[in-house]
């Protein structure tokens, strides 16, 4: 009887969760699994139109923007569009109190006015290939893990070298299905990418962190860049002789808009998901890791917001840092809530019972997997939390002065070597001086002091005694447990909060400087935390992660056997994927149904000059009052955003949202609050991706920015 019940539970589970909307599919394999379903849902193109190595196709118009976003080509002159929040670092980089592009927006009115961005790249996928057999060549199940990994690493190296031999391409090779499959990606990376335009934050970040991860939404989250190439259309470092890149393909922009039920496809680079983890993983996140990290960030944000509100210069300096901290903070809160409402842990456990019953009966080699998982997560949870907390303390927007001091370790290593490599030392010094300048451009010492004190107290309270670094002996001894006194001393004595001193120190660095450094409290603070991490946390973390990697690989393979009829999609790993679904509203909670789109009316409803996030620019109000909407008007207003059922995650920001014809109808930029647990479990009833309607984008560029000339190079479908 029990067996039957379990099978039933498993079957129900599968039925609810194997739906059309869920999944991030490999473009090269659409033909095999998805294209028929996509066409049934309305898609008019073929698998070959999406991904092909023989002809120009949709994939040729999709790029990795920077390091963690997606972008797409919208003209044959290298014009790309991505999100405002993806170009945020660049927009901020060019901003100052005098030229405040964050606040006022920026539009290059001619190519000469476009702004050059050091270190910004755009990456095209040329081709991909399943290389599983070659990666696993020479390994077997009886081998020791180390030996196995060594052979795999050698194979990977050889495959990558061969793939890009005699070309300027870059090779990337990634595991799929937790190492049960491997794909090679051959990429082309462009290095001269210039800022063309961005709306003011009151449009591009309208609603700010208040509305972030929420629907209904009215954020005009876009910015535009242009790729430049050398005269042969090849990647080149910035040069004034470079010319606009001529892509193989760019997306026509459709002004036809969307109706509920319409097919939508998101084509981009989702970062990471965890769909196939055991229930222990969900327990770890919801009960321990998320709550603790949420608390640290709540405190950081409270301090930052206060300083930023008080001083416009500080507001600019900390704009990107604040957005970064706030973004995951809010997502973790939503993730916990979503998993709880979905009853995700119980669902996973029910699935696991079914799995175990099957394994015991039919695949005994997998019957101990869950017990093994249980044992690892029991200890891993604490190490994982400590690691997360350590990152919050210093490296990940924590105590900034200590983070900067920690950068000196590279110099220390050089000068401690038996023989000094003078050339390497000079190069390193130059690089460090550059990063020090960037550091101080966005630094405000009083803010850092307050956050430092808060973080040091929180760490002591939240992390167990074995992981308390030596610096607490000083705090509790000399400073009698008064963190504020210690922080006063830290900032009074260290040189690392003064730009001129740090630069002088680096430029004049010699063997003698090692002694000065050993007396600097910021350097010692970083060292004290780093050594706990390096000696006590990292080795264990590494051990557990490697054990988990083995278990994950086996559990993934086992799940595929257990549910042999199901078509699995691999977890996101920042490789190009297709998500398809349809435009659709949703029920957020009892009695609350959200429509699938928002309009300019909603922007005016939110308008509130007293709230920073809701200040509607005068120019937009003027257009609204005059109903000056031109061809972007629909039913007396302008559409702004829409939601659909595409399965997306971080990294998908900036992704093209395409209609049945493969035309650009939107730019993906977020997910709705009720569904952000989709990284762990997808709920078709409530998981929605949020996109910016292209009609609003063109309306802003054309009517508000007066940069209508850009529309001339686009292919617009009316
Ligand atoms: N939530 C979106 C994503 O994860 C947008 C983030 C940027 N916006 C912000 N207010 N922090 O990236
Ligand atoms: N906003 C996210 C991004 O930046 C997208 C998401 O998580 O849905 O990629």
Mean pLDDT, contiguous 10-residue spans, the chain (718 residues): 45 46 96 93 97 97 97 98 97 91 95 96 98 96 89 97 98 98 98 98 96 98 98 98 98 97 98 98 98 98 97 93 96 97 97 98 98 98 98 98 97 90 93 96 97 98 97 97 98 98 97 95 98 97 96 98 96 98 97 98 96 93 98 97 98 98 98 98 96 98 95 97
Catalytic residue among 84, 85, 647, 663: 85
pLDDT at 418: 85
Q: Please give the helix or strand (H or E) that residue 523 lies within, else none.
A: helix 521-532
Nearest to 217 by CA among 630, 580, 644: 644
Catalytic residue among 75, 223, 254, 653: 653
How many angstroms separate the CA atoms of 232 and 229, rounded?
7
Nearest to 22 by CA among 586, 568, 670: 568
Torsion of CA 681, 683, 686, 692, to 10 degrees: 70
Cβ–ligand 1 contact at 332 (below 6 Å): no
85 catalytic residue (yes or no): yes
- Distance of CA 685 from the midpoint of ligand 1 (Å): 22
- Distance of CA 371 from the midpoint of ligand 2 (Å): 34
221 catalytic residue (yes or no): yes
CA-closest residue to ligand 1 atom 5: 670
Q: Please give the helix or strand (H or E) that residue 63 lies within, else none.
A: strand 62-65
State the CB neighbour count (10 A cutoff) for residue 534: 11
Q: Please give the helix or strand (H or E) that residue 227 lies within, else none.
A: strand 223-229
Task: Say which ligand is closest to the CA of 70.
Answer: 2
pLDDT, tens only, 505-532: 999 999 999 999 999 999 999 999 999 9
Residues 261/251, Cβ–Cβ less than 8 Å: no
> Relative to the CA of 651, which ligand 2 atom is closest?
9
Q: Any long-range contacts for 148-151 (C-beta under 8 Å, 24+ apart)?
A: none
CA distances from 524 to 470, 496, 527 (A): 10, 12, 5
How many angstroms separate the CA atoms of 64 and 73, rounded?
11
Q: Apex CA 69: angle with CA 66 and CA 73, to 5°?
A: 80
Q: Apex CA 425: angle with CA 423 and CA 428, to 5°?
A: 110
Q: Which of 69, 330, 669, 674 to mutate to test the pocket of ligand 1 (most atoms within 8 A of CB)?
A: 669
Pairing of strands 170-176, 115-116: unpaired
State the CB neighbour count (10 A cutoff) for residue 526: 27
Nearest to 704 by CA among 628, 646, 648: 628
How many angstroms separate the CA atoms of 24 and 578, rounded?
6
Cβ–ligand 1 contact at 219 (below 6 Å): no
Cβ–ligand 1 contact at 655 (below 6 Å): no
Pairing of strands 253-254, 639-644: unpaired
> Relative to the CA of 327, which ligand 2 atom is closest?
1
Cβ–ligand 2 contact at 262 (below 6 Å): no
Q: Is the peptide bond before 364 cis (omega within 30 degrees of 0)?
A: no
> Relative to the CA of 212, which ligand 1 atom is closest?
10
Q: Across the chain, which distance is largest between two alpha carbons, in Å?
A: 78
* 667, two tokens: 């730019």
- Distance of CA 70 from the midpoint of ligand 2 (Å): 10
Q: Please give the helix or strand (H or E) that residue 387 lies within, else none.
A: helix 369-393
* 26, two tokens: 């490999």
Residues 286/584, Cβ–Cβ less than 8 Å: no
Domain ranges in the chain with CATH number 2.40.10.120 = 1-121+191-272+569-718
Cβ–ligand 1 contact at 670 (below 6 Å): yes
Q: Please give the helix or strand (H or E) that residue 486 lies within, else none.
A: helix 483-493
Cβ–ligand 2 contact at 100 (below 6 Å): no
Task: Say which ligand is closest to the CA of 210.
Answer: 1
CA distances from 125 to 57, 243, 252, 570 (A): 11, 21, 20, 19
> Relative to the CA of 689, which ligand 2 atom is closest?
8
pLDDT at 588: 96
pLDDT at 21: 87
Catalytic residue among 209, 211, 221, 571: 221
DSSP 8-state class, residue 660: T
Cβ–ligand 2 contact at 349 (below 6 Å): no
- Distance of CA 665 from the midpoint of ligand 1 (Å): 20
* 444, two tokens: 């405000």
> Relative to the CA of 327, which ligand 1 atom is closest?
11
pLDDT at 97: 85
> Relative to the CA of 70, which ligand 2 atom is closest?
9
- Distance of CA 293 from the midpoint of ligand 2 (Å): 19
Tell which CATH architecture fits domain 1-121+191-272+569-718: Beta Barrel (2.40)
DSSP 8-state class, residue 634: B
SS3 sequence, 284-303?
A: HHHHHHHHHHHHHHHHHHHH
SS3 sequence, 186-214?
A: EEEEECEEEEEEECCHHHHCCCHHHHCCC
- Distance of CA 183 from the midpoint of ligand 2 (Å): 24
How many angstroms separate the CA atoms of 404 and 655, rounded?
34
> Relative to the CA of 331, which ligand 2 atom is closest?
7
- Distance of CA 224 from the midpoint of ligand 1 (Å): 17
Cβ–ligand 1 contact at 301 (below 6 Å): no
* 567, two tokens: 């078509």
Q: Which of 88, 648, 679, 690 to mutate to test the pocket of ligand 2 (most atoms within 8 A of CB)?
A: 648
Cβ–ligand 1 contact at 653 (below 6 Å): yes
pLDDT at 19: 56
């Amino acid at each position: 009887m029990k067996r039957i019940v379990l099978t039933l539970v498993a079957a129900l589970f599968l039925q609810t969760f194997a739906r059309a909307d869920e999944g991030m599919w490999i473009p090269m394999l659409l033909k095999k699994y998805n294209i028929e379903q996509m066409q049934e849902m309305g898609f008019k193109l073929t698998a070959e139109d999406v991904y092909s190595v023989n002809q120009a196709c949709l994939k040729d118009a999709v790029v990795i923007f920077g390091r963690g976003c997606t972008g797409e080509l919208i003209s044959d002159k290298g014009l790309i569009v991505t999100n405002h929040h993806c170009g945020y670092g660049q927009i901020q980089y060019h901003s100052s109190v005098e030229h405040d592009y964050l606040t006022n927006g920026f539009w290059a009115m001619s190519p000469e006015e476009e702004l050059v961005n050091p270190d910004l790249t755009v990456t095209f996928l040329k081709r991909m290939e399943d290389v599983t057999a070659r990666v696993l060549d020479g390994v077997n199940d009886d081998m020791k893990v180390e030996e196995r990994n060594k052979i795999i690493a050698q194979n990977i190296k050889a495959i990558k070298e061969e793939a890009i031999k005699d070309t300027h391409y870059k090779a990337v090779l990634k595991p799929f299905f937790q190492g049960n499959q491997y794909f090679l990606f051959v990429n082309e990376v462009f290095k001269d990418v210039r800022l063309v335009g961005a709306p003011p934050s009151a449009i591009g970040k309208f609603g700010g962190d208040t509305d972030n991860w929420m629907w209904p939404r009215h954020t005009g989250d876009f910015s535009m860049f242009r790729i430049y190439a050398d005269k042969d259309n090849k990647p080149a470092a910035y040069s004034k002789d470079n010319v606009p890149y001529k892509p193989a393909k760019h997306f026509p922009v459709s002004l036809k808009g969307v109706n509920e039920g319409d097919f939508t496809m998101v084509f981009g680079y989702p970062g990471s998901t965890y769909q196939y983890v055991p229930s222990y993983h969900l327990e770890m996140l919801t009960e321990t890791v998320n709550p603790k990290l949420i608390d640290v960030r709540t405190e950081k944000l409270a301090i930052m917001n206060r300083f930023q509100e008080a001083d416009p210069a500080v507001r600019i300096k900390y704009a990107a840092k604040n957005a970064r901290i706030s973004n995951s903070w809010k997502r973790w809160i939503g993730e916990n809530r979503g998993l709880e409402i979905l009853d995700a842990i119980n669902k996973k456990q029910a699935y696991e019972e079914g799995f175990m019953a099957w394994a015991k009966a039919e695949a005994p080699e997998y019957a101990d997997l869950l017990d093994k998982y249980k044992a690892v997560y029991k200890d891993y949870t604490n190490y994982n939390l400590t690691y997360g907390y350590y990152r919050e303390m210093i490296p990940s927007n924590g105590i900034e002065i200590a983070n900067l001091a920690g950068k000196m370790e590279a110099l220390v290593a050089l000068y401690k070597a038996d023989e000094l490599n003078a050339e390497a030392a000079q190069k390193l010094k130059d690089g460090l001086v550059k990063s020090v300048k960037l550091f101080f451009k966005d630094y405000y010492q009083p803010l850092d002091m307050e956050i430092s004190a808060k973080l040091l107290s929180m760490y002591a309270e939240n992390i167990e005694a074995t992981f308390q670094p030596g610096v607490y002996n000083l705090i509790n001894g000399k400073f009698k447990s008064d963190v504020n006194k210690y922080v006063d001393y830290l900032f009074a004595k260290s040189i690392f909060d003064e730009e001129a001193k740090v630069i002088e120190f680096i430029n004049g660095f010699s063997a003698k400087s090692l002694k000065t450094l050993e007396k600097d409290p910021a350097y010692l603070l970083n060292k004290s935390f780093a050594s706990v991490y390096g000696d006590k946390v990292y080795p264990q973390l590494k051990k557990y992660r490697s054990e988990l990697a083995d278990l994950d690989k086996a559990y993934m393979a086992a799940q595929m056997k257990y549910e042999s009829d199901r078509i699995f999609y691999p977890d996101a790993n920042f490789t190009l994927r297709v998500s398809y679904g349809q435009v659709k509203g949703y029920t957020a909670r009892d009695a609350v149904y959200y429509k699938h789109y928002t309009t300019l009316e909603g922007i005016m409803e939110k308008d509130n000059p007293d709230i920073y996030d809701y200040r509607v620019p005068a120019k937009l109000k003027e257009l609204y009052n005059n109903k000056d909407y031109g061809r972007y008007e629909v039913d007396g207003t302008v559409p702004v955003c829409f939601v659909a059922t595409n399965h997306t995650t971080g990294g998908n920001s900036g992704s093209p949202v395409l209609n049945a014809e493969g035309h650009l109808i939107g730019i993906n930029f977020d997910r709705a609050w009720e569904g952000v647990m989709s990284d762990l479990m997808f709920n078709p009833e409530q998981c929605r991706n949020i996109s910016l309607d292209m009609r609003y984008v063109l309306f802003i560029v054309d009517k508000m920015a007066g940069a209508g000339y850009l529309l001339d190079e686009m292919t617009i479908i009316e």
